[in-house]
Amino acid sequence: MSEHAALIYVMVMIAAPDSEITDQELMTMGDIVRMLPVFDNFDEELLPKLAKNCAEVLNQDEGFAAVIQLASDALPQNLRETAYALACDVAAADGRVSQEEMRLLTLIRHGLPVGRLPTAAIQRGARARL
């Protein structure tokens, strides 16, 4: 799995626990892919295919754990905090973060792993932006 795919999988996963990805979450993912330097060499036309592939993994038994493991295996240490930050932005995109999303953010934090201080800073930044 590429680094880009892993980042997209994390974004799709955080939008999926309530079984419905909102328009705002989709717009946020699209904006992230278009604007952030980490996606400079990414072909935006691959986004729908990667989102569909991620949904297929999520629909399997232990799908969330599988996506977290795929992301952990694909992402170097310097992009794990980025992945968590993207997850926080997508989770907060619709103006609220559900209990399911909070639990999933905790799983992502532990699965990547991201330290407690960076986690707090990333969450604070997401609240300030969104």
pLDDT in tens, 60-95: 999 999 999 999 999 999 999 999 999 999 999 888
Q: Report the chain's mean pLDDT, rounded to a whole number.
A: 93
CATH code of the domain in which 47 resides: 1.10.3680.10
CA atoms of 36 and 111, how far apart (whole Å) = 23
Residue with the larger pLDDT of the pair 121 and 23: 121
- The count of C-alpha atoms lying within 13 angstroms of the C-alpha of 78, restricted to the half-sphere facing its C-beta, is 1
Domain that holds residue 51: 3-129
Confirm if 14 and 104 have CB atoms less than 8 A apart.
yes
State how many domains the chain has. 1
In this structure, the dihedral spanned by the alpha carbons of residues 14, 18, 23 and 25, taken in order and rounded to 10 degrees, is: -20
What's the pLDDT score for residue 19?
Answer: 66
What's the pLDDT score for residue 12?
Answer: 95
State the average pLDDT over residues 18-42.
89
Q: How much is the pTM?
A: 0.93
Which whole-number Å values give the CA distances from 54 to 7, 10, 19, 68, 69, in the listed order? Answer: 11, 9, 13, 11, 12
